[in-house]
Amino acid sequence: MDRLEGRVAVVTGASSGIGAAIAQELVKKGVKVVGLARRVEKIEELAAKLKSEKGELHALKCDVTIEEEIKTSFEYVKSKLGGVHILINNAGLMIYTNTLIDGSTEEWRKMLDINVLALNVCTREAIKLMKEEDIDDGHIVHINSICGHSPPSEHIVMYAATKHAVTALTEGLRRELVKQNSKIRVSSISPGMVKTDMAPKFIIESMPSMNPEDIADAVVYVLGTPQHVQVHELTIRPTGNVL
């Protein structure tokens, strides 16, 4: 039996792109997945397609920038599925052409709310539930970005700043968990260019890029490592891309 089979995972931003690919792959591995997104109908469509797979996909409407909606989602997970073993923090926002000199404060705030605050609220609620249910082999996975290590363009520096925050939050959480003698693991996965709706089409078409399924495969690899192994940071780039 696959070591992931029967476990419960929450995937944010599960309606399309990387999030949908991760949800699909986990369901195929026998995981009970709760997909969160504002466009819940997209997750419901995916769930219908996955009916014959080993796992199951639950669709929940959730705006991760609203703390109460996150809390309600985790209450659902507790009442319906008994707890959570895996959290995939995938929801994210990149606004291109938003420079530091001429950028919009509102657009900066949106990126910070989704990429940083929502990620950490979800993490806090997941770990809280893991502790309540005595789940000490849980796994938190942050979908980061190569921009979380070096900003490649002046047009996305604020986005890069939010992803640098994710890098810091990954290490900070690891240290907190170690201090508490917890066996809960935390991993950051930092993809390069991926064919999703997040990046402008002209950029994707101008350089080598990966598919959402490539990132889903990386998530499965990270989750499948032995309990004594923590993949702290995994960087994935498309072959031939200079960024």
DSSP secondary structure string, 177-215?
HHHTT---EEEEEEE--BSSSSS-HHHHHTS--B-HHHH
Can you give the CATH number for the domain in which 24 is found? 3.40.50.720
Tens-digit pLDDT profile for the chain (243 aa)?
478 999 999 999 999 999 999 999 999 999 999 999 999 999 999 999 999 999 999 999 999 999 999 999 999 999 999 999 999 999 999 998 778 999 999 999 999 999 999 999 999 999 999 999 999 999 999 999 999 998 777 789 999 999 999 999 999 999 999 999 999 999 999 999 898 877 777 777 778 889 999 999 999 999 999 999 999 999 999 998 766
Residues designated catalytic:
159
Domain limits for position 35: 8-236
Q: Looking at the domain assignment, is residue 99 inside a domain? A: yes
Q: Looking at the domain assignment, is residue 241 inside a domain? A: no
How many structural domains does the chain have? 1
H helices of the chain, where? Answer: 17-28, 40-49, 67-81, 105-112, 119-132, 157-179, 201-205, 212-224
Give the predicted TM-score (pTM) of the model.
0.95
Q: Looking at the domain assignment, is residue 90 inside a domain? A: yes
